Structure 1
Amino acid sequence: MSRVLGANKLKYGGQNQKWLILLGSDDYDLECAKILLNHLPSRQVVVLSSCLQLVAKLVKNNPQVIDGGNFDILSNLEHHSWAGIILGAKATLSDSETLSLIKLKLNYVPVYHICDVWESLWLKLPPSLLDANWFVASSRFQYANFLKFKRLIDILVSMLLLIILLPLMLLVAVAIKLDSPGEIIYSQLRNGRNGRVFKIYKFRSMYTDAEKTGVKWTSIGDSRITRIGYWLRTLRIDELPQLWNVLIGEMSLIGPRPERPEFDVKLKNAIPYYQLRYLVKPGISGWAQVLYPYGASVEDAYEKLAYDLYYIKNYSLWLDIVIFFKTIKVVLCGKGR
């Protein structure tokens, strides 16, 4: 678990200890539990739920799950040796059941909210499984403390990179001009922090009539991409003009990638908590870009938002540094899109 950045680390306990999972009565906790069972250490898991039918579904397809019954027997389990307890977001506990959990914590049994487990194991926060109350009350969120320092870094690094990369950018400009007719640098409208629309700048990697049939996501093997554009995208060189967006304060070096307004209209209606990604400045690179492959669908946008939410919650200089070096690795390995 050393790879976790700012998230709660899970302690797996002894080899013979069982996990205790407390679930609510709806499909939300059921889906969480199914995913958890694929990642917990190979040992038995005891499940309690206010809905016995929900537990029966888990037991049927997961031989490591023991049907512990409902919460009424929780007090009888206080003296058992547990590796840990996971509390589902929809689990509703009575005063006596809460007291039983507190006694277990006092006996050094770790109790985790199910969102803590997601954050620790997978370094993301899936929006459909996110507990809004847990997210808002989190003890992280160092945005205000980090903001001024981050802006200073953005100015200094973007200026330095513009100077160092100027010869490369001139060569790219010549290559684009020789490869196909059209402008060298083009602009697109993107949504920025707090929904403010701005123009993002990129080296042209498509033919000039690429959107004559309308706006659409880029796909693998997209025929609209020019020969030189393929390499610009693979090495992410097409993003270099955005250093100007960073310098004038519209973007940051690190942050969620800004999306086009045309796509945002669809995505914010399809994905819960989508607008949260615009609480911070968009970036040239981000947590989603270094951990998730390029995508061109609502499903891909959902997965990327899960990483963006993790980034927003764990906003810090250390996380930005990690993303910066991971970005270099992605570029050197040619994993752009």
Structure 2
Amino acid sequence: MKKLLNNSVVCHSIGILGSLLLIDLLTGWRDQLPFTVINSFWLISAAYLGASITIPKITNYLLVDRKFYILPVLASTYGIIIGSIFLLRIDYSREVLIYGFALHLAWMYTSTAVRAEQHKLRFSVIDNFDYSAINPRLARLTITPLVELNLSKVQDGLVVDLHKDLTAEQEKFVADCSINNIPVFHSESIIEMVEGKVQTKHLSENAIGTLIPNPLYHTLKRIWESILIILSLPITLPVMLMTAILIKLESPGPAMFIQERVGQGGKSFRIYKFRSMTVKKDDSSDKFATQEQARVTKVGKVIRKVRIDELPQFFNVLKGEMSLIGPRPEQESFVKQFEQEIPFYGYRHMVKPGITGWAQTVQGYADDTDSTRNKLAHDLYYIKHLSFWLDMNIVLKTIRTILTGFGAK
């Protein structure tokens, strides 16, 4: 049975067909199904199929445990289906939708647990580097040093530091792996894959072209983000109006906080935020948010925790100054400081800054040079691997961030 489930087609066919059979039994076996039930069967099958395709794509960029993505992805695909029902006025059965979601959720968790070993990558290592730096506890990954150079001992791939010396025998073995279609990974690439950040100390060895985003996706990203913001305005505008009123009632000063930030190409723009602190004196110097905690208002604490203070940046996105997802924009004074202290810092300006981003959801808040250096490594990873599926991964991580308050200052 386990061997059968390891085949994705078989596994998901059981998930779809098995759930339809069970739903029919639970709702009363009938020879002639009502039109609403037939429609609902098609709809829930589409939702399951969408989730089963999406989960591997989203979890491809960081070797994480897939089970953490099952609920949000399945809920999202069902949400799209429900939205389609109301938009297109499709006749449906509420009972079938509820049963379908519950059964699909249970099956996805069960099959993922059974297939966990199949999803694990097994890499063999030529130990010409410190492979303890690859922490398998962070990933679905096992690392095994090669005792003998035998092709049959290598399973999913070979890891080696290609920048360090190899013996003649080891060089021949690496070549043999490539000839026999066994993937050979540079050690730094695997560390990058596991940790979700670019190793900036080796950035000079990378082709700069790897950090240039795909221009086609860059255009599509602008389109889908703008559409998403416009569709959400009926919900977000009342929230913004209520937030502005509460800020004005609590403390004197404007409801909005407008500040110069550095954007794509190093160009400055004015970022919009809801004011979460008391008004700063004109002669005050720029500080990190952790140094300004005493000025945070009661309303400010709440809107920061759930990221409502960032909602006005939707208008920055519509103006083309920002994206929904990208490296967070920094103040010009800090940019000048970090460009002096951190090599390659300016590369983060190759894309538009974002309201949320990879570094924000993985690392959290940065409040000094060392944490900013680490944040840069995450930002460059995002730029290097920029794609729709990585953006969707960040969307799901951002939902977790909003619910937990991770990284809020």
TM-score (norm 2): 0.64
Against the structure 1 CA distance between its residues 327 and 189, is the aligned structure 2 distance closer, same or farther, given a 3 Å change threshold? Answer: same
Q: 1:118, 1:43 → 2: CA distance? A: 12
Q: Tell me which moved more, 270-279 or 97-106.
A: 97-106
Q: 1:37, 1:205 → 2: CA distance? A: 39
Matched, 1:12 2:83: no
Match of 1:188 in 2: 259
Match of 2:128 in 1: 22
- Indicate conservation of the 8 Å contact 2:261/2:269, yes or no: yes
SS in structure 2 of the partner of residue 21 of structure 1: coil
Identify which of 165, 179, 193 aligns with 1:120. Answer: 193
Counterpart residue identity of residue 313, structure 2: Q
SS in structure 1 of the partner of residue 197 of structure 2: coil
Against the structure 1 CA distance between its residues 96 and 242, is the aligned structure 2 distance closer, same or farther, given a 3 Å change threshold? Answer: same
Identify which of 87, 96, 120 aligns with 2:160. Answer: 87
SS in structure 2 of the partner of residue 321 of structure 1: helix
- Indicate conservation of the 8 Å contact 1:89/1:131, yes or no: no
Q: Tell me which moved more, 86-95 or 208-217.
A: 86-95
TM-score (norm 1): 0.76
SS in structure 2 of the partner of residue 159 of structure 1: helix
Against the structure 1 CA distance between its residues 253 and 229, is the aligned structure 2 distance closer, same or farther, given a 3 Å change threshold? Answer: same
Q: 1:249, 1:43 → 2: CA distance? A: 44
Q: 2:353, 2:394 → 1: CA distance? A: 14
Q: 2:228, 2:135 → 1: CA distance? A: 44
Matched, 1:323 2:394: yes
What are structure 2's unaligned runs of at least 5 residues? 1-55, 64-118
Task: Please report how far the alpha carbon of residue 291 of structure 1 lies from its aligned counterpart in structure 2 after TM superposition.
Answer: 1.3
Q: 1:10, 1:302 → 2: CA distance? A: 31
What are structure 1's unaligned runs of at least 5 residues? 24-29, 47-65, 67-75
Where relative contact order (Cα < 8 A, 6+ residues apart) is larger, the structure is: 1
- Indicate conservation of the 8 Å contact 2:136/2:143, yes or no: no
Match of 1:274 in 2: 345
Structure whose CA Rg is larger: 2
Larger helix fraction of residues: 2
Q: 1:152, 1:37 → 2: CA distance? A: 38
Task: Please report how far the alpha carbon of residue 328 of structure 1 lies from its aligned counterpart in structure 2 after TM superposition.
Answer: 2.1
Give me the identity figure in percent.
Answer: 33
Q: 1:232, 1:204 → 2: CA distance? A: 9
| Residues 20-60 of structure 1, C-alpha deviations (whole Å, 9 max, x = no match) | 1334xxxxxx6xx45236769787646xxxxxxxxxxxxxx
Q: 1:331, 1:276 → 2: CA distance? A: 28
- Indicate conservation of the 8 Å contact 1:4/1:120, yes or no: no
- Indicate conservation of the 8 Å contact 2:133/2:191, yes or no: no
Task: Please report how far the alpha carbon of residue 249 of structure 1 lies from its aligned counterpart in structure 2 after TM superposition.
Answer: 0.4
Identify which of 102, 105, 124 aligns with 2:178. Answer: 105
- Indicate conservation of the 8 Å contact 2:326/2:354, yes or no: yes
SS in structure 1 of the partner of residue 128 of structure 2: strand
| Residues 142-170 of structure 1, C-alpha deviations (whole Å, 9 max, x = no match) | 52120111111122122233332111111
Larger strand fraction of residues: 1
- Indicate conservation of the 8 Å contact 2:160/2:185, yes or no: yes
SS in structure 2 of the partner of residue 188 of structure 1: strand
Q: 2:274, 2:280 → 1: CA distance? A: 15
- Indicate conservation of the 8 Å contact 1:115/1:131, yes or no: no
Match of 1:172 in 2: 243
| Residues 145-201 of structure 1, C-alpha deviations (whole Å, 9 max, x = no match) | 201111111221222333321111111111111111111102111110010110101
Q: 1:81, 1:317 → 2: CA distance? A: 36
Identify which of 358, 368, 373 aligns with 1:302. Answer: 373
- Indicate conservation of the 8 Å contact 1:126/1:305, yes or no: no
- Indicate conservation of the 8 Å contact 1:78/1:104, yes or no: no
| Residues 207-253 of structure 1, C-alpha deviations (whole Å, 9 max, x = no match) | 11267541110117810211111111111111111111001100011
- Indicate conservation of the 8 Å contact 1:155/1:246, yes or no: yes
- How many residues were matched structurally? 295
SS in structure 1 of the partner of residue 206 of structure 2: helix
Q: Tell me which moved more, 3-12 or 268-277.
A: 3-12
Counterpart residue identity of residue 268, structure 2: V
Match of 1:35 in 2: 133
